[in-house]
């Protein structure tokens, strides 16, 4: 069984079930019955409790934890309008409400693989099987990661995207079922199964992004086919372009540099230059130098992507990019970034896996390409 944080730190959430739901406290004492299709709201109560309220305003006695389940084990529970398998626990963590989905690992994976990879054709099925093994390995390696918060995994890119039953696809479910119990190991233990969208032509060394990820199976490898083409070139994020005017760049750095380089935003009055100071073994930007009025500021490693954000606050797609600067050495009036790929670049390239599957590679060959030296095992 795994626990997925569907709602974290909220003030309220809604719960409902097509087959009706039972609400209990941790001792098993039944607190309420929610009729089929009726939507109840869970809110904070006092300093430690939670309360569930019906559409008509009837409320149960406050409890620190609410266990919500359907009498039909196969029925779905809706949280904020989205359907999920398993049972749900609502709990008070600090000053916020957390809602956790509790379900079997394999059921969780069906909602992960489908959400991560989307709809796929028959010729892309091996990519889904590879993703299923990667996601299962990630889950077993990181189980209890957020135990202090009352769950194992976030339902977002903080861990793996989990869309619940509403995101499941037939092909995603088939990939999980066919690979049931299979994981990647090294030295007898599940590997650090890092993955991301698009490598852009070459994956990154583990230590380029994660300082402790010095693993034999996390090496920089080319994502190239024998004919020289790149497997992940089919990705919509294979190549991309971003640019800022001088004023937009100043505004961006005022937002991002205080947190990433401990530079007060008020001190960023002009930008004289932006340049790549160092590249990593895979060719990604390892250090960015930003010339300000008071001197140069250097931004290291993964922080590079968080410094050059878009106007909406989205981080840069990847650290594999080149710069074109207008006004360097005096006052930057335009900064253009031409980049490759999306994500940190360590380990499994999802779009590369799709390209390899289209080329006829099976999931074993795909996994061996991105995690060289890892062993595919069936644990159960």
Residues 220 and 367 in one domain: yes
Residues 6 or more apart whose CB falls under 8 angstroms from that of 211 comprise: none
- Please say whether the beta carbons of 165 and 83 come within 8 A: yes
Q: How far is CA 380 from the centre of its chain?
A: 26
CA distances from 35 to 14, 16, 20, 54 (A): 14, 8, 5, 10
Please state the rounded mean pLDDT for residues 269-275: 93
- Residue 166 and residue 315 in one domain: no
- Statement to judge: residues 214 and 350 lie in one domain: yes
pLDDT higher than 80, residue 311:
no
User: What is the bridge-based pairing of β-strands 195-196 and 348-349?
Assistant: parallel
Q: What is the tally of structural domains in the chain?
A: 3
pLDDT at 362: 98
Residue-level pLDDT at 28? 87
With tokens 């034999």, the residue in question is 216
pLDDT at 252 (0 to 100):
94
**Do residues 194 and 140 share a domain?**
yes
pLDDT at 196 over 90: yes
Quick one: pLDDT at residue 93? 86
The torsion angle over the Cα atoms of residues 245, 247, 249 and 252, rounded to 10 degrees, is -130
Residue 306 in 3-state DSSP?
A: helix
Domain boundary pick from 103, 122, 148: 103
Walk across the sheet containing 285-292 and list its strands.
271-279, 285-292, 295-300
- Position 127 scores a pLDDT of 98
d(CA 344, CA 305): 9
Q: Which two tokens stand for residue 141?
A: 């390696």
Same domain as 229, residue 119: yes
271-279 and 285-292 as β-strands: parallel, antiparallel, unpaired?
Answer: antiparallel
135 & 169 share domain: yes
- Residue 295 pLDDT greater than 90, yes or no: no
Q: Which tens digit of pLDDT belongs to each residue from 3-52?
A: 999 999 999 999 999 889 999 998 888 999 999 999 999 999 887 789 99
| 220 and 363 fall within a common domain | yes
Residue at a domain's end among 103, 128, 145:
103
My answer on whether 216 and 361 are in the same domain is yes
* Local structure of 79: helix, strand or coil: strand
pLDDT category at 329 given cuts 50, 70, 90 is confident
Q: Judge if 155 and 287 occupy the same domain.
A: no
* Whole-number pLDDT of residue 47: 78
pLDDT digits (tens, 9 = 90+) for 66-101: 999 998 888 999 999 999 999 999 999 888 999 999
Is the pLDDT at 353 greater than 90? The verdict is yes
Question: Which has the closest alpha carbon to 267: 293, 242, 303?
Answer: 293
**pLDDT classification of 261: cutoffs 50, 70, 90:** confident
Among 42, 44, 49, 45, which residue's Cα sits nearest to residue 13? Answer: 42
Per-residue model confidence (pLDDT) at position 197: 97
Do residues 254 and 206 both lie within one domain? Answer: no
* β-pair partners for 43: 12, 51
Separation of alpha carbons 51 and 54, rounded Å? 10
Residues 6+ apart with CB under 8 A from 170: none
Q: What is the pLDDT of residue 163?
A: 95
Mean pLDDT of the chain: 94
pLDDT value of residue 76: 95
Number of H helices, E strands in the chain: 8, 23
Reference 175, options 105, 76, 103, 109; nearest CA is 109
Q: Give the tokens for residue 297.
A: 């500021």
Range of 348's domain?
106-233+344-378
Average pLDDT over residues 260-264: 85
Q: State yes or no: pLDDT of 368 exceeds 90.
A: yes
H-run or E-run covering 357? helix 350-358
Residues 183 and 302 in one domain: no
Mean per-residue pLDDT, 287-298: 91
d(CA 48, CA 29): 19
Residues 114 and 226 in one domain: yes
């Amino acid at each position: 069984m795994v626990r997925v944080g569907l709602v974290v730190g909220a003030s309220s959430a809604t719960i409902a079930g097509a087959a009706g739901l039972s609400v209990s406290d941790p001792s098993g004492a039944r607190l309420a019955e929610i009729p089929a299709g009726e939507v109840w709201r869970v809110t904070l109560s006092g300093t430690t409790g939670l309360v569930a309220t019906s559409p008509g305003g009837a409320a149960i006695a406050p409890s620190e934890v609410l266990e919500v389940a359907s009498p039909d084990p196969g029925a779905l529970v809706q949280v904020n309008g989205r359907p999920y398998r398993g049972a749900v626990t609502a709990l008070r963590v600090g000053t916020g409400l957390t809602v956790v989905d509790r379900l079997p690992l394999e059921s969780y994976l069906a909602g992960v693989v489908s959400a991560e990879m989307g709809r796929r054709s028959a010729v892309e099925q091996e990519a889904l099987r590879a993703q299923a093994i990667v996601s299962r390995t990630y889950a077993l390696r990181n189980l209890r990661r957020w135990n202090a918060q009352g769950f194992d995994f976030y339902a977002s890119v903080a861990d793996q995207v989990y869309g619940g039953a509403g995101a499941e696809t037939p092909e995603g479910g088939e990939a999980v079922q066919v690979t049931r119990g299979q994981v990647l190991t090294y030295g007898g233990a599940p590997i650090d199964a890092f993955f991301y969208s698009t490598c852009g032509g070459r994956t990154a060394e583990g230590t380029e992004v994660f300082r402790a990820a010095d693993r034999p199976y996390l090496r920089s490898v080319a994502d190239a086919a024998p004919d020289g083409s790149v497997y992940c070139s089919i990705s919509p994020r294979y190549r991309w372009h971003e640019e800022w005017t001088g004023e937009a760049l100043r505004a961006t750095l005022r937002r991002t540099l205080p947190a990433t380089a401990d530079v007060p935003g008020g001190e960023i009055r002009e930008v004289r230059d932006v340049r790549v100071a160092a590249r990593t073994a895979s060719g990604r930007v390892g250090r960015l130098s930003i010339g300000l009025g008071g001197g140069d500021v250097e931004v290291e490693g993964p922080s590079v992507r968080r410094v050059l954000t878009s106007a909406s606050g989205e981080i840069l797609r990847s650290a594999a990019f080149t710069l074109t600067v207008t006004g360097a050495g005096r006052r930057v009036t335009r900064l253009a970034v031409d980049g490759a790929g999306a994500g940190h670049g360590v380990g499994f390239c999802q779009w590369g896996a799709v390209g390899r599957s289209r080329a006829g590679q099976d999931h074993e060959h795909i996994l061996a390409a991105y995690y060289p030296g890892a062993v595919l095992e069936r644990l159960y």
